[in-house]
A and B are shown apart, each in its own frame.
Chain A
Amino acid sequence: KQEVTQIPAALSVPEGENLVLNCSFTDSAIYNLQWFRQDPGKGLTSLLLIQSSQREQTSGRLNASLDKSSGRSTLYIAASQPGDSATYLCAGNQAGTALIFGKGTTLSVSS
């Protein structure tokens, strides 16, 4: 059964730092991979989607990549800001499945 691991579970950084969040799948055969942001008590906001034919996506200060040979993805956040404080969730799907989620990384950026 596919499982998703996100490391670290929590991260605290000062404002301005560049940081990397990690996500790994037990089965590397991932079609779509999606990174989400969740604020406390709120729904999920999609950040980046890497579709089956892609390996990387960028949006502003965010960059996500997927290594399909290893089943590992990273989310890079440049020049972090206090407004980036949230929980970041990684999710992927395979043939015949809906998105499977990791437990998330809770990020705190201090000013």
Chain B
Amino acid sequence: DGGITQSPKYLFRKEGQNVTLSCEQNLNHDAMYWYRQDPGQGLRLIYYSQIVNDFQKGDIAEGYSVSREKKESFPLTVTSAQKNPTAFYLCASSMGSGVFGTGDGYTFGSGTRLTVV
């Protein structure tokens, strides 16, 4: 079955450490997205990518970095510059350029819960 796989499901980060969250899709979608969800909050956009080797900052990109070397993969690195990284991270994808109102809607992965220890 096609879908989006996020790993790991749970991740613990020590102070000053960089960690990378994995997101892989086999839906042949062009666009991929990273969102952050805090308790009682809506999802906030971190980064998005419409094509390979191109990505744009979302509303809360500070302290995060991404790469898009393959169409299927869009890993997110939470750097030590992110002072409050504890949150639920969700990856999504969409066919075509979903940013511009086309496509079949967004498909989400099951999320990674990151905790600072």
Q: What is the chain A residue whose CB lies nearest that of B110? A: A43
Instruction: Tell me, yes or no, whether A94 is within 8 Å of chain B by CB.
Output: yes
Contact B48 A98 (CB under 8 A): yes
Interface residues of A in 66-95 (CB under 8 A from B): 89, 91, 93-95
Give the contacting residue for B58; candidates A98, A102, A103; CB below 8 A.
A98
Contact B58 A94 (CB under 8 A): no
Interface size class of A (residues with CB under 8 A): 20 to 34
Cα A42 to Cα B6 in complex, Å, equals: 12
Contact B113 A41 (CB under 8 A): yes
Cα A2 to Cα B103 in complex, Å, equals: 21
Contact with A along B85-117 (1 / 0, CB 8 A): 000101010000011111111111111010000
Contact A43 B100 (CB under 8 A): no
Instruction: Tell me, yes or no, whether B40 is within 8 Å of chain A by CB.
Output: yes
Contact B110 A42 (CB under 8 A): yes
Contact B40 A32 (CB under 8 A): no
Cα A94 to Cα B101 in complex, Å, equals: 7
Instruction: Tell me, yes or no, whether A18 is within 8 Å of chain B by CB.
Output: no
When distances are taken between beta carbons in the complex, the residues of chain A under 8 Å from B101 are 31-32, 51-52, 93-95
Instruction: Tell me, yes or no, whether B2 is within 8 Å of chain A by CB.
Output: no
Contact B90 A44 (CB under 8 A): yes
Contact with B along A1-36 (1 / 0, CB 8 A): 000100000000000000000000000000110101
Q: What is the chain A residue whose CB lies nearest that of B35? A: A101
Contact A102 B42 (CB under 8 A): yes
Cα A97 to Cα B94 in complex, Å, equals: 13
Given A98-B48, A101-B42, A93-B90 contact (CB < 8 Å): no
Contact A89 B42 (CB under 8 A): yes
Minimum C-beta distance from B63 to chain A (A): 19
Which 5 pairs, one residue from A and one from B, show the smallest C-beta to C-beta distance?
A31-B101, A49-B105, A101-B42, A44-B108, A43-B110
* 18 extra A-B contacts, CB within 8 A, seeds A44-B92, A51-B101, A95-B101: A31-B100, A32-B103, A34-B105, A36-B108, A41-B111, A43-B108, A44-B108, A45-B108, A52-B102, A91-B106, A93-B99, A96-B100, A98-B98, A99-B92, A99-B98, A101-B35, A101-B44, A103-B41
